[in-house]
């Protein structure tokens, strides 16, 4: 068993394709297939089910995949520790980001500062929902990710507070109020976000026992803004996702806080602080220097 074989096995499992895994690693398909077959022979198990050009993990394959990811992650951390001991800040950093709040408000400025300090660290960013990012962290698909806190299943580092706001068509009577009472949502068409904040908006509605008239479910913030601008309904989004420039492009949209005021805390999350790589530790330290303000 070699680390290269483990890496090939992991990529084949993730892509469900020998061709895609081989392309990612710059090797031939036959080499990728041979590596997995060698693992199966050494371990005397079947890792994959190959049927009609489809690849699925066996039960033991799914079990060993998790351990393979842990081993590869440990090897990468060891290499970064070795590099750091030589004064060489090299390695990779895989970041998970959700929604416009982290991808627009936090990540660009943070990546710019990080790149200036550690120009030799190779950075990859995966974007999805808050749930996606948490799953990626657990599965070691990313090293670190943004998360809505608290999270008891991960090691977390708080950064800042955000609030939820309502985007209201200018023509709606409630747009004239200084804030939107959350109970008023039941009286108007509603546009549900399918982006990073969906889980938290749904939880908020459930908390106050509100069943709005959901007319649309949309994942793109700009699409939601456009629909509100066309007077199609009210939406709830994170305040950090709404820049002044975006609102200026949508003159028929009024932004209002919610009553009661609804906050959420944004932070960083990793699977295990004890096994964090130097690149991850440096990212956390820089993020807290830039954004953390104790409440």
pLDDT at residue number 53: 74
- Residue 135: other Cβ atoms inside 10 A: 15
How far is Cα 212 from Cα 189, in angstroms, rounded to an integer?
7
- Mean pLDDT value across residues 175-204: 90
Average pLDDT, the chain: 89
- What kind of architecture, by CATH, is found in domain 3-83? Orthogonal Bundle (1.10)
Would you kindly state where each structural domain of the chain is located, as residue ranges? 3-83, 90-159+265-291, 161-262
β-strands 121-128, 54-57 pairing: unpaired
Please write the tens of the pLDDT for every residue from 10-46. Answer: 999 998 888 898 888 888 888 888 889 999 999 999 9
Please write the tens of the pLDDT for every residue from 206-236. Answer: 999 999 999 999 988 899 999 999 999 999 9
Q: Which value, in Å, is the radius of gyration of the alpha carbons in the chain? A: 23
Residue 265 backbone dihedrals phi, psi, to 5 degrees: -105, 130
pLDDT at residue number 136: 94
Which residues, 6+ apart, have CB-to-CB distance to 44 below 8 Å?
none
pLDDT at residue number 293: 64
- Tell me if domain 3-83 and domain 90-159+265-291 are identical in fold: no
Whether domain 90-159+265-291 has CATH 3.40.309.10: the reply is no
- What kind of architecture, by CATH, is found in domain 161-262? 3-Layer(aba) Sandwich (3.40)
């Amino acid at each position: 068993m070699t680390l290269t074989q483990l890496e090939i096995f992991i990529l084949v499992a993730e892509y469900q394709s020998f061709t895609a895994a081989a392309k990612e690693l710059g090797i031939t398909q036959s080499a990728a297939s041979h590596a997995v077959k060698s693992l199966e022979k050494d371990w005397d198990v079947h890792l994959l089910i190959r049927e009609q050009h489809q690849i699925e993990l066996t039960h033991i394959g799914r079990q060993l995949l998790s351990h393979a990811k842990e081993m590869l992650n440990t090897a990468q951390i060891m290499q970064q520790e070795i590099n750091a001991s030589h004064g060489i800040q090299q390695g990779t950093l895989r970041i998970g980001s959700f929604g416009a709040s982290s991808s627009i408000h936090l990540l660009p400025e943070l990546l710019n500062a990080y790149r200036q300090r550690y120009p030799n660290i190779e950075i990859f960013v995966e974007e999805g929902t808050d749930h996606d990012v948490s799953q990626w962290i657990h599965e070691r698909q990313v090293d670190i990710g943004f998360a809505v806190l608290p999270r008891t299943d991960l090691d977390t580092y708080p950064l800042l507070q955000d609030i939820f706001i309502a985007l209201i068509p200018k023509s709606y009577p409630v747009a004239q109020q200084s804030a939107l009472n959350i109970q008023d949502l039941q009286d108007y068409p509603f546009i549900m976000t399918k982006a990073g904040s969906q889980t938290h908006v749904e939880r908020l509605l459930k908390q106050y026992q509100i069943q709005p008239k959901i007319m649309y479910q949309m994942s793109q913030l700009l699409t939601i803004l456009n629909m509100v601008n066309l007077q199609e309904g009210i939406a709830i989004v994170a305040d950090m996702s709404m820049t002044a420039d975006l609102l200026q492009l949508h003159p028929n949209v009024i932004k209002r806080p919610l009553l009661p005021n609804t906050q959420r805390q944004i932070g960083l999350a990793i699977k295990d602080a004890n096994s964090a790589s130097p690149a991850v530790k440096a990212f956390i330290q820089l993020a807290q220097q830039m954004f953390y303000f104790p409440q």
